[in-house]
Structure 1
Amino acid sequence: MGLKGKLIASIEVKCEGHSIHDIVHTNTHHLPNIIPSVLNHFEIHEGETIKVGSVVSWKFNQDGKEMLLKEKIESIDLEKKSTTWKVIGGNMLELYDSFTIITSSEHQWTTVTLMYEKKTEDTPEPLTLLGVFIIGLKDIESHLLK
């Protein structure tokens, strides 16, 4: 079968993981200004800035195309600096039946986990999206180190 998958990328950062967690989870509305090469737009549709149950959307660049992710925040663990986002709309659901993104930060490490179920065997692994996250995290780190 092979329809379910999980991709994980952990990046060592020089600015401490809690700083990246703060930008991504507390000052999220600033991200389009911090990483404009990746992220074009962030909007809160329901709830407050990064609270469980909030619904947010992101417009980002992937392979030269503008993509949309609409997500509901399923869980937040402040101690582990982890947030779980369930994709509920946008381009990813054209290829995947389900898609969940988990971001976490610990000491010098920031981790992105993509868990998904492909619609068909021919659906590609979301490696390009994982690359977008890596570029974004490195750009956030550069911003914080200025």
Structure 2
Amino acid sequence: MGLNGKLVASLEVKCGGHLFHDLYQTSCHHVSNISPEKIHHFNIHEGDDIKAGSVIGWKFNHNGKVNVTKQLIEAIDDEKKSITWKVIEGDTLEQYSAFTITASFENNWATWTFVYEKKTEDTPEPISLLGFLLDVTKDIEAHLHKEIKAF
């Protein structure tokens, strides 16, 4: 059994991926307003805004437990509508030695990719965390769809 893994999940989003990319690139702090039961807080630890090299933090409810994470924004690709975060602190690193998240919002698809290294062979695959992000994606889609209909 290997300790390295990769999980990928895609979800069709009817309101267009560019709106998701814009939200995550410029207005992450709104995600806690859109999905308050899941996301409690967002902040920027290092850097003036959301760009490659900035360090951000999230406080969220996953599996009935409040979790925190601190992430380095490794890359933002406006052409591919993708953002890559490397987890550098927090609850995720209790089970994983390395954990990188990439979100791609091309066309009408939201795709989440996890690349990770488990600390032990007994560590579970992060499937529930991936499901959590898909649920947040659905909350954001419902919110954006409502805003589009309002215009």
Q: Say yes or no: TM over 0.5.
A: yes
Measure the CA separation in 2 of the matches of 1:103 and 1:20.
10
1:67 matches 2:80 = no
Partner SS state of residue 85, structure 1: strand
Q: Which residue identity lines up with residue 86 of structure 1 in the other structure?
A: K
Measure the CA separation in 1 of the matches of 2:48 and 2:103.
18
Q: C-alpha deviations, 1:102-139, integer Å up to 9, x for none?
A: 01111110110011000000001001110110000000
Which deviates more from structure 2 when the two are superposed, residues 47-56 or residues 114-123? 47-56
Q: Which residue identity lines up with residue 6 of structure 2 in the other structure?
A: K
Measure the CA separation in 1 of the matches of 2:41 and 2:110.
22
Measure the CA separation in 2 of the matches of 1:86 and 1:19.
22
1:28 aligned residue: 28
User: After superposition, where does 1:37-116 map in structure 2 within 5 Å?
Assistant: 37-116=37-116
Q: Which residue identity lines up with residue 145 of structure 1 in the other structure?
A: H
The structural deviation recorded for 1:49 is 2.5
8 A Cα contact 1:28 1:49, kept in partner: no
8 A Cα contact 1:47 1:53, kept in partner: yes
The structural deviation recorded for 1:3 is 0.2
CA RMSD of aligned residues (A): 0.8
Q: Which residue identity lines up with residue 112 of structure 1 in the other structure?
A: W
Q: Which residue identity lines up with residue 77 of structure 2 in the other structure?
A: D
2:149 aligned residue: none
> Which runs of 5 or more structure 2 residues have no equivalent in the other structure?
147-151
User: Which 4+ residue blocks in structure 1 deviate beyond 6 angstroms?
Assistant: none
The structural deviation recorded for 1:21 is 1.1
Superposition TM-score, scaled by structure 1 size: 0.97
Superposition TM-score, scaled by structure 2 size: 0.94
